[in-house]
Amino acid sequence: MASIFSKIIAGEIPSYKVAEDEHHFAFLDINPIAKGHVLVVPKHETDYLFDLDDALLSSLTVFSKRVAKAIEKSVPCQRIGVAVVGLEVPHAHIHLIPINGVYDVDFNRPKLALPAEEMQEIAATIAENL
Ligand code: 5GP
């Protein structure tokens, strides 16, 4: 069965998309731990990030860099933190999280509940800054 992220990539489930190319896709995390929390995924569905072939892992990293630079321009923060967890969704993904300190990369924190309009605005701003 297709992962929830494959369904998002296919447009079967809505998302706040920020970037896409032939092999990669980026969208806002639906339960962000910070404003501008983005997930970057390969379109090819593989559960574990380190099972991706070298070329795709490399290109996903370069694509993430491009998205991270755009987030930096869009959300006030010191830098973009990077996390890989993958315990919830079995489709490899990289979390890009605007941070001001190490405490901002805490997945146990209560998630932000942002209105749809604000999520849309954040996604559009990041997309514009690519
Ligand atoms: P992980 O697999 O890295 O532990 O966590 C998966 C992440 O995907 C979580 O931060 C969760 O909020 C996010 N997530 C799960 N389902 C959806 C979804 O349907 N849409 C979006 N945009 N994010 C999701």
Find the 54 Cα to ligand 1 centroid distance in Å: 24
Q: What is the mean pLDDT of the chain?
A: 97
| Residues of the domain holding 20 | 4-128
Above 90 in pLDDT, residue 1? no
pLDDT digits (tens, 9 = 90+) for 54-66: 999 999 999 999 9
The rounded percent of the chain whose pLDDT value lies above 90 is 98
Atom of ligand 1 nearest to the CA of 85: 3
For the beta sheet containing 38-42, the strands, ordered from the edge strand earlier in sequence to the opposite edge, are 17-20, 24-28, 38-42, 94-99, 79-83
Over residues 71-102, the pLDDT tens digits come to 999 999 999 999 999 999 999 999 999 999 99
CATH code at position 105: 3.30.428.10
Task: Locate the ligand 1 atom nearest the alpha carbon of residue 88 and give its number.
Answer: 2
Q: How confident is the model at residue 115 (pLDDT cuts 50, 70, 90)?
A: very high
23: annotated active-site residue: no
Question: In the predicted model, what is the mean pLDDT of residues 8-22?
Answer: 98
Overall domain count for the chain: 1
